[in-house]
């Protein structure tokens, strides 16, 4: 068939032809289905005749039945779906209803957060109204961005507070000495302690006193200080006095000649003043306080210092030392006293003979504790401590001990221990009898000898020593001078040498009676003699003003005694000179002596450096002992 293409496509010919084809195919399928149905119940000949017309009618009815059955089948499936999904939908509705009830009656909040909706050009917009936007309003919080200052990290922002730094710049740079006491800050107190080389350990420690006038000490103490001419407290007094007055135990380590006696006498007098006055009945219970020292001379010196303060309170002081009749001392104890100053040996004798009891003694001071241990007084010291009332000993629990220190209804024991070194025996005593102690250290190891120029001279014989001694007496510093020896017989030999030089001298050693020792020391203090020749008995605690030169004619065999011997000069902040004679036989002290000379920037002799003993610590007897704190 010829068809005009233009007309065909303009009339939609292709679409119309396709539609006609589809209708024709549908008619064919319908006719085919009818013939198939008609042949469904035919006879075997498979031919259609007129007799089958009635059968065809029945066949159409059966076709309708099959169609109805198919519809019924679909209806049954619809009913099944409704039975399956109806409970689900109902359950969801019940859950929503229950949730609404919970919101209403339980106060729950619905999730009404704003949902982000993708807007035009990839921007995000929110579903609130534009009238709710308040960002354009003036708000100081939004207009001024907060400057974050983190407390950790690196760089400028790592832990710096700009406002704090700015405020520090505005503070006036005023030294603590120009501030009032009430204006002192924690930083000022820290600088104050550094200026006076004061270091403390043991929890919260009271601030030191800056001057006698600013202190809150009783009137009697201030009168005594003024009467004795003490212009200002020493570093150990600055810190030790307020700590002791607060009721705490003290472990004090201070340089020699630093005023330790006054540091424990003042708090002791304040403690006794708070106790009831002694009567005829209570005097038999013993003193209120006990002070123990290693040597007779030191005990008598402490007794004198204690009387200077006790007289302003009306307290009585008794000293107990060897070399004097014990019956006379027992008589003084029988009259009653508030304070006893004694050596451990004589005090223990009085306790054993019942001349003295310590039933009401709750204040004890151990001065030069390491020296008492070295002299073999450890058992006597512990016996005295055990003779005191144990029920008044503070608890070993630090928290409970802290509360007991401030208890005003009950009296607890106060223990003050001063020591230049800390050998194991002293550590054991401190651990057993001290409770929550405050450790006060003035200066550092070797601090006292920093002010002392030390000279060591190698000698070959005793005659060589004497020649050098005469030269030092003639060309050295002026008197008073102390010469130390290790043996008593050397005192007389040196005295003969000095007598030839026309130098006055006095002798002090343990072989003399107590009266002779007291007279010799008093004679030297009054400057009636230029030179004091002494054994180690005068090396500890003896204070003589103005000693310019200490000579170790015989050098001791340990560094502890050496340090205390030369400590007789350069006291109370002044300078001094110490000269020591040493030979190849003195190997026990060479190692420690070389170290202390090096640490204090003094000259080490070439003979000492070359000696093998100076480089081998095993040769030193005291190499394993505790460090010396001066």
Whether the pLDDT of residue 610 is over 50: the answer is: yes
Confidence of residue 322 (pLDDT cuts 50, 70, 90): confident
Q: Are residues 224 and 302 in the same domain?
A: yes
111 within a domain of the structure (yes/no):
no
**Residue span of the structural domain in which 553 resides:** 448-619
Whether the pLDDT of residue 19 is over 80: the answer is: no
- What average pLDDT does range 381-385 have in this prediction? 93
Confidence of residue 454 (pLDDT cuts 50, 70, 90): very high
Tokens 């460090």 locate to 627
Residue 293 token pair: 């020292």
C-beta separation of 607 from 456 below 8 A? no
Whether the pLDDT of residue 408 is over 90: the answer is: no
3-state secondary structure of 414: strand
Whether the pLDDT of residue 177 is over 70: the answer is: yes
Tokens 């922002």 locate to 157
266, HSE (Cβ side, Cα atoms, 13 Å): 30
Q: Are residues 568 and 606 in the same domain?
A: yes
Give the residue, 48 or 428, on which the prediction is more confident: 428
Closest to 222 (Cα-Cα) out of 209, 235, 208? 209
Whether the pLDDT of residue 556 is over 60: the answer is: yes
Whether the pLDDT of residue 43 is over 50: the answer is: no
Does 294 sit behind a cis peptide bond, omega within 30 degrees of 0 on the bond before it?
A: no
Confidence of residue 159 (pLDDT cuts 50, 70, 90): low
The pLDDT tens digits of the residues spanning 253-292 come to 876 667 889 999 999 999 999 999 999 999 999 999 999 9
pLDDT of residue 156: 53
391 within a domain of the structure (yes/no):
yes
pLDDT of residue 627: 40
Question: How many domains does the chain fold into?
Answer: 2
Phi, psi of 455 (to 5 degrees): -125, 130
The pLDDT tens digits of the residues spanning 97-142 come to 887 777 776 666 655 555 555 555 555 555 666 666 665 555 666 5
Q: Are residues 421 and 465 in the same domain?
A: no
Whether the pLDDT of residue 157 is over 70: the answer is: no
Q: Are residues 542 and 608 in the same domain?
A: yes
**Residue 461's domain is classified under what CATH number?**
3.40.50.300
Q: Are residues 262 and 318 in the same domain?
A: yes
Q: What percent of the chain is modeled with pLDDT above 90? A: 33
Whether the pLDDT of residue 343 is over 70: the answer is: yes
Q: Are residues 425 and 493 in the same domain?
A: no
Give the residue from 377, 410, 442 where a domain finishes.
442
Confidence of residue 403 (pLDDT cuts 50, 70, 90): confident
pLDDT of residue 391: 86
Between 509-523, 541-555, 595-609, 614-628, the lowest mean confidence (pLDDT) is in 614-628
- Residue 93's alpha-carbon distances to 87, 99, 244, 548, in angstroms, are 10, 10, 82, 109
C-beta separation of 429 from 381 below 8 A? yes
270 within a domain of the structure (yes/no):
yes
- What average pLDDT does range 483-505 have in this prediction? 89
Whether the pLDDT of residue 507 is over 80: the answer is: yes
Long-range Cβ contacts of 615-618 (<8 Å, 24+ apart): 615/591, 616/591, 617/591
52 within a domain of the structure (yes/no):
no
Looking at the DSSP bridge assignments, the partners of residue 339 are: 289, 317
DSSP assignment letter at 145: -
122 within a domain of the structure (yes/no):
no
The pLDDT tens digits of the residues spanning 94-104 come to 788 887 777 77
Measured CA to CA, the distance from residue 611 to residue 628 in angstroms comes to 24
Closest to 225 (Cα-Cα) out of 239, 213, 240? 213
pLDDT of residue 81: 56
Q: Are residues 435 and 463 in the same domain?
A: no
352 within a domain of the structure (yes/no):
yes
Measured CA to CA, the distance from residue 255 to residue 444 in angstroms comes to 8
Q: What percent of the chain is modeled with pLDDT above 70? A: 70
Tokens 């080389």 locate to 197
Q: Are residues 484 and 605 in the same domain?
A: yes
Whether the pLDDT of residue 41 is over 50: the answer is: no
3-state secondary structure of 447: coil
Give the residue, 614 or 484, on which the prediction is more confident: 484
Q: Are residues 308 and 419 in the same domain?
A: yes
524 within a domain of the structure (yes/no):
yes
Whether the pLDDT of residue 630 is over 50: the answer is: no
Give the residue from 409, 424, 442 where a domain finishes.
442
Give the residue from 411, 442, 473 where a domain finishes.
442
**Model confidence, pTM:** 0.60
Give the residue, 545 or 315, on which the prediction is more confident: 315
Give the residue, 445 or 272, on which the prediction is more confident: 272
Q: Are residues 417 and 455 in the same domain?
A: no
Residue 390 burial (10 A CB sphere; 0-12, 13-18, 19+) = exposed
Q: Are residues 414 and 276 in the same domain?
A: yes
Residue 192 token pair: 């104050």
Closest to 532 (Cα-Cα) out of 565, 499, 484? 484
**For the ranges 44-48, 292-296, 535-539, the one whose mean pLDDT is highest:** 292-296
Q: Are residues 229 and 349 in the same domain?
A: yes
Confidence of residue 624 (pLDDT cuts 50, 70, 90): very low
- Cα 491 to chain centroid distance, Å, stands at 50
Measured CA to CA, the distance from residue 588 to residue 622 in angstroms comes to 8
Measured CA to CA, the distance from residue 123 to residue 440 in angstroms comes to 72
Closest to 450 (Cα-Cα) out of 285, 330, 326, 563? 563
pLDDT of residue 579: 95
pLDDT of residue 203: 84
- What average pLDDT does range 415-437 have in this prediction? 88
- Cα 614 to chain centroid distance, Å, stands at 37
Residues 6+ apart with CB under 8 A from 290: 339, 340, 341, 342, 347, 358, 361, 363, 364, 365, 384
Closest to 590 (Cα-Cα) out of 553, 615, 564? 615
pLDDT of residue 540: 62
5 within a domain of the structure (yes/no):
no
**For the ranges 43-47, 467-471, 518-522, the one whose mean pLDDT is highest:** 467-471
Whether the pLDDT of residue 36 is over 60: the answer is: no
- How high does pLDDT run on average in the chain? 79
């Amino acid at each position: 068939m010829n068809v005009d293409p233009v007309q065909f496509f303009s009339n939609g010919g292709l679409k119309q032809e396709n539609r006609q084809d589809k209708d024709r195919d549908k008619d064919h399928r319908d006719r085919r289905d009818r013939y198939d149905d008609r042949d469904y119940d035919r006879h075997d000949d498979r031919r259609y005749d007129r007799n089958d017309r009635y059968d065809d009618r029945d066949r159409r009815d059966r076709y309708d039945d099959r169609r109805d059955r198919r519809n019924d089948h679909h209806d049954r499936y619809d009913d099944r779906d409704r039975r399956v999904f109806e409970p689900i939908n109902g359950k969801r509705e019940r859950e929503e209803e229950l949730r609404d009830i919970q919101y209403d009656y339980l106060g729950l909040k619905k999730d009404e957060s704003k949902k982000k909706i993708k807007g035009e050009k990839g921007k995000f917009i929110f579903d609130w109204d534009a009238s709710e936007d308040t960002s354009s309003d003036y708000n100081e919080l939004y207009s001024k961005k907060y400057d974050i200052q983190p407390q950790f990290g690196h760089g400028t922002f790592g832990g710096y507070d700009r406002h704090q730094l700015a405020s520090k710049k505005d503070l006036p740079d005023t030294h603590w000495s120009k501030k009032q006491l009430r204006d002192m800050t924690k930083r000022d107190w820290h600088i104050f302690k550094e200026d006076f080389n004061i270091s403390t350990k043991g929890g919260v420690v009271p601030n030191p006193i800056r001057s006698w006038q600013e202190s809150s000490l009783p009137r009697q103490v201030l009168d005594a200080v003024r009467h004795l001419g003490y212009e200002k407290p020493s570093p150990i007094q600055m810190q030790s006095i307020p700590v002791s007055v607060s009721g705490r135990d003290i472990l004090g380590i201070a340089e020699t000649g630093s005023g330790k006696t006054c540091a424990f006498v003042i708090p002791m007098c304040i403690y006794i003043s708070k106790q009831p006055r002694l009567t005829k009945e209570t005097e038999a219970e013993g003193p209120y306080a006990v002070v123990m020292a290693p040597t007779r001379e030191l005990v008598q010196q402490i007794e004198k210092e204690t009387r200077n303060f006790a007289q302003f309170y009306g307290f009585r002081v008794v000293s107990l030392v060897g070399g004097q009749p014990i019956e006379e001392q027992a008589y003084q104890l029988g009259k009653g006293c508030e304070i006893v100053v004694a050596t451990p040996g004589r005090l223990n004798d009085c306790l054993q003979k019942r001349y003295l009891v310590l039933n009401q003694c709750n204040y004890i001071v151990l001065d030069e504790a390491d020296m008492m241990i070295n002299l073999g007084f450890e058992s006597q010291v512990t016996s005295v401590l055990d003779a005191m009332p144990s029920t008044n000993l503070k608890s070993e629990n630090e928290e409970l001990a802290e509360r007991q220190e401030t208890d005003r209804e009950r009296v607890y024991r106060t223990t003050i221990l001063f020591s230049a070194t800390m050998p194991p025996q002293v550590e054991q005593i401190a651990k057993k009898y001290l409770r929550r102690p405050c450790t006060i250290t003035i200066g550092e190891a070797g601090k006292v000898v920093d002010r002392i120029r030390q000279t060591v001279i190698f000698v070959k014989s005793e005659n060589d020593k004497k020649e050098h001694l005469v030269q030092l007496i003639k060309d050295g510093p002026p008197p008073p001078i102390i010469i130390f020896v290790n043996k008593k017989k050397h005192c007389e030999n040196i005295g003969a040498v000095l007598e030839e030089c026309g130098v006055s001298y006095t002798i002090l050693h343990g072989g003399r009676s107590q009266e002779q020792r007291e007279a010799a020391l008093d004679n030297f203090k009054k400057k009636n003699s230029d030179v004091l020749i002494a054994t180690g008995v005068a090396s500890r605690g003896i204070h003589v003003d103005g000693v310019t030169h200490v000579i170790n004619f015989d050098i001791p065999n340990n560094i502890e005694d050496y340090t205390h011997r030369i400590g007789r000069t350069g006291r109370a902040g002044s300078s001094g000179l110490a000269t020591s004679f040493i030979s190849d036989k003195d190997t026990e002290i060479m190692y420690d002596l070389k170290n202390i000379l090096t640490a204090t920037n003094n000259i080490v002799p070439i003979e000492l450096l070359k000696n093998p003993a100076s480089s081998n610590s095993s040769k030193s007897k005291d190499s394993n002992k505790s460090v010396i704190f001066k």
